[in-house]
Chain A
């Protein structure tokens, strides 16, 4: 396939031909008998890993197998929040690696992923929240990650719809703002990586579900059984989010993961009214406005594990009462669409990007509710780990063994709970 560059000029030129000369953005590949590396899971993380394996590690023959259509899992089912103001140095380094890659991603992929650094504001509602967020601000500043403290008035100035009335049930006592944070266009990330990877020779095989993982006499991975036949593979990287447990169980690998429903919703589109991303962990409200005009609102996970890609009504009700409390002028707006994803959660809510006990088998999972923001960084580090059969220093702490050894990276516990 000849490389077709995307630009205003190419758009103009092809408009003269009625846009009849565009070519497929990625090749529809049939599985070949053998690859050097097969990535299982065609979301942003998997496609990105394939891209970096080809672009930076030149590992030879690479394929991505996806049981449905690419970008159809959590990549296409999230609220697209991007930030890196995490508390622990390990997490901040991981997510900031990602934010730095986001900043150039449109240019690197020649695909506009619409990374919009409109600022992510995390609201504090209690004295305890203030202590926790100030700890974040200090830790981030010392690590070189931008994050600043705003008074309620400053928060209101940054986000005019915000209700800072001190008499509401949980008044806003301040906010931590990461200006480099923001949102991106989720589908574009999957398609942009797919297109760039495809141009580098990566086979992207959709509608191809893995049904078995073959191992040789020494226990090393040697290939996959799929709904589209057997595929030999030197190395296999699994990047299957909510389905990771199911895929890795095919190789007898157990993981400390549980899969939960996570919902999100959008309002009907309205003219620009919400300039940033606002998050409140205390009352569970996450909101931004897409370029299309929809308010994009994240809900919490349901209480129970499930693979149904849907959640309960009362979860949405709780989400929207929080939104209406913080932004009472949105009460008359209407929910246009709600959807659910399956998020894989580890005991410390931090991801695993690591080798598995099975030689040649690698896993990238456990992103919980925060995987989208990490897409480029996660993909980049996973590619490195597969290519070098060893973790990059940034993902070295994110092993499976940390649960055995007690070296947890527990952001949620660190945010703790009210005393």
Chain B
């Protein structure tokens, strides 16, 4: 069970959270201007990063808020987390525990 750093509440066990998938996928402002391929890209294509992955979590059984986190998918160590709307931090922001 991961220990997940909620930027609002601090570290909490994984069972308090729901996973929200890849971060920074922004819903197109006007989807009707996209062709089918571009729309499918938004809907389905994922980087599936092997390494440091920016991802969304929701502290569903805590503060209820979504946030973004950086996690190394080859070790499951978190490098940090940040609030929705904040830019993805540079990688030097934290050391893995």
Contacts and interface: CB of A to CB of B under 8 A. Distances in A.
A and B touch in the complex (CB under 8 A): yes
Interface-central residue, B15, B36, B44, by most chain A CB under 10 Å: B44
Interface centre among A245, A246, A257, A306 (most CB of B within 10 A): A306
Contacts, number: 65
A404 B55 contact: no
A256 B75 CA distance: 23
A159 to B, nearest CB: 32
A405 interface: yes
Interface residues of A, number: 24
Given A246-B50, A312-B14, A305 B55 contact: yes
B48 A308 contact: no
Interface of B: 1-2, 14-15, 18-19, 21, 36-37, 39-41, 43-50, 53, 55, 71, 73-76
B73 A257 contact: no
Interface of A: 243, 245-246, 249, 254-259, 303-308, 312-314, 344, 347, 403-405
Nearest to A248: B48
Contacts of B53: 305
B19 A257 contact: no
A308 B74 contact: yes
A81 B71 CA distance: 33
A313 B49 CA distance: 24
Contacts of A305: 21, 48-49, 53, 55, 73
Nearest to B74: A307
A347 B49 CA distance: 16
Nearest to A244: B48
Contacts of A245: 46-48, 50
Contacts of B76: 306, 308
Contacts of B73: 259, 305-308
A405 to B, nearest CB: 7
A314 B15 CA distance: 8
Contact of A307 (B1, B37, B50): B50
A256 B50 contact: no
Contacts of B48: 245-246, 255, 257-259, 305, 344
B5 to A, nearest CB: 14
A246 B41 CA distance: 17
Given A245-B50, A306-B76, A308-B75, A314 B1 contact: yes
B45 A255 contact: yes
16 contacts: A243-B50, A246-B48, A255-B45, A255-B48, A256-B45, A256-B46, A259-B73, A303-B14, A304-B2, A304-B19, A304-B71, A305-B48, A307-B73, A307-B74, A308-B73, A404-B36
A172 B76 CA distance: 38
Nearest to B69: A304
A361 to B, nearest CB: 17
A249 B76 CA distance: 21
A114 B71 CA distance: 41
A122 B40 CA distance: 34
B6 to A, nearest CB: 15
Contact of A257 (B14, B43, B46, B75): B46
Contacts of A256: 40, 44-46
Contact of B40 (A246, A257, A303, A403): A403
Q: Which of A245, A308, A404, A405 has the most CB of B within 10 A?
A: A404
B13 to A, nearest CB: 9
A304 B50 contact: no
